[in-house]
A = this chain, B = another copy of it.
Amino acid sequence: MKKIEAFIRHEAFEPIRAELLEKGFPSVSVLEAKGSGRQKGIVEQYRGSTVQVNIRPKLKLEVVVADEDKDLIVETILRHSRTGEIGDGKIFVIPVEEAIRIRTGERGDEVTQTHAE
């Protein structure tokens, strides 16, 4: 199994989620993150002074899938989150050794996404 971690813009999330759901991958998680990269920070004004903000809000998407589904997920993420502007983010793939569905205690590839039960 693989965990796909992607740092994306907020507006990319909904289309990704919707397409994954349609393709049979309803199970995803998302966390609020902030990051820096090529994208620059900004300087904000307040009462004549300034404050410099170096990191920008991003979403961290996490999807665990069977090895063979990995490419499909990556592709879906890429399609919806690419604007071509800097700040689009990165995708990382990480090995997962085990997956357990808490509700049932089942383990293995099949639990990563909801299959017929």
Q: Which residues in A have some Cβ–Cβ distance to B below 8 Å?
A: 1-3, 6-8, 14, 17, 21, 26-38, 54-55, 58, 60, 62, 64, 74, 77-78, 81-103, 105, 111-112, 114
Contacts and interface: CB of A to CB of B under 8 A. Distances in A.
A91 B64 CA distance: 10
Nearest to A102: B88
A99 B34 CA distance: 18
A90 B77 contact: no
Given A21-B36, A55-B17, A78-B102, A29 B96 contact: no
Given A31-B31, A32-B31, A114-B38, A6 B102 contact: yes
Q: How many copies does the complex hold?
A: 3
Nearest to A84: B103
Q: Which 4 residue pairs across A and B have the least CB separation, nearest first?
A: A93-B98, A29-B35, A88-B103, A88-B102
A79 to B, nearest CB: 10
B58 A29 contact: yes
Contacts of A1: 92
B102 A3 contact: no
Nearest to A82: B102
